[in-house]
Structure 1
Amino acid sequence: METRDLIFSVVMVVSSFVLTYEWLGRFKYSPANALIILSAMVMVGALAGMILLVDMRLRKIDNMLEAKERSLRINVQSVENNLDARMNEVLIKMDDVMDSMDRRRYR
């Protein structure tokens, strides 16, 4: 979690306080409305926390996918190298067989 995320979360909570306070001030403000202001702050704080948790989970999934992609790439590369080696062996054997057939044909 980055500091910028925490700063944005704090800004969300503070702005919910200011918005709710000013909105209720347009009507008749009374101390009983403090519960409404506190509820709005808690709700926005919970929303900010939820967004941060989703962000952390997405980053974790992204890191897992990158690790699996790396391992898959390494496995594909090793299979490719093994296949190249086997193909070279087959080509060498085919060349030997073709040479022996050419020698037999010219005799």
Structure 2
Amino acid sequence: MEIREIIFSVVMVVSSFVLTYEWLGRFKYSPANALIILSAMVMVGALAGMILLVDMRLRKIDHMLEAKERSLRINIQSVENNLDSRVNEVLLRMDEIQSSMDRTRYR
């Protein structure tokens, strides 16, 4: 988690407090409304926490996909190198056979 994410979460909670306090102040504020303000702050805090958890999970999935892509790329490269070496061996063998056939034909 980055610090700016935590700051944004705190700003969300504080703004929910101010918004709820000011909104309820228009309707003759009473101490019983403190529960409403607290519940709004908890709800926004839970929402911020949920957003942060989703962000962390998405980053984890992204890192896993990058690792799998990297390993797949390495595997493909090794298969390609292996195939190149085998094709070169076959081509060399074919060139040897062709040259030996050319020698026997000209004799």
Displacement over 4 Å in runs of 4+: none
Aligned pairs, number: 107
User: Any idea what SS the aligned residue of 1:29 has?
Assistant: coil
1:28 alignment partner AA: K
Q: Quote how far apart the aligned CAs of 1:26 are.
A: 1.3
Q: Structure 1: give runs of 5+ residues left out of the alignment.
A: none
Specify every segment of 5 or more residues in structure 2 that has no aligned partner in the other structure, as ranges: none
SS of 2:47 mapped into structure 1: helix
The alpha carbon displacement at 1:101 in A equals 1.4
Amino acid at match of 1:14: V
After the TM superposition, which of the residue ranges 14-23 and 97-106 deviates more from structure 2?
Answer: 97-106
Q: Kindly report the root-mean-square deviation, in angstroms, between the aligned alpha carbons of the 2 structures.
A: 0.8
Are residues 1:40 and 2:40 paired?
Answer: yes
Partner of 1:61: 61
Quote how far apart the aligned CAs of 1:25 are: 1.1
SS in structure 2 at match of 1:7: helix
Supply the AA of the counterpart residue of 2:42.
V
When the two structures are superposed, what TM-score results if normalisation uses the length of structure 1?
0.96
Percent identity at matched positions? 87
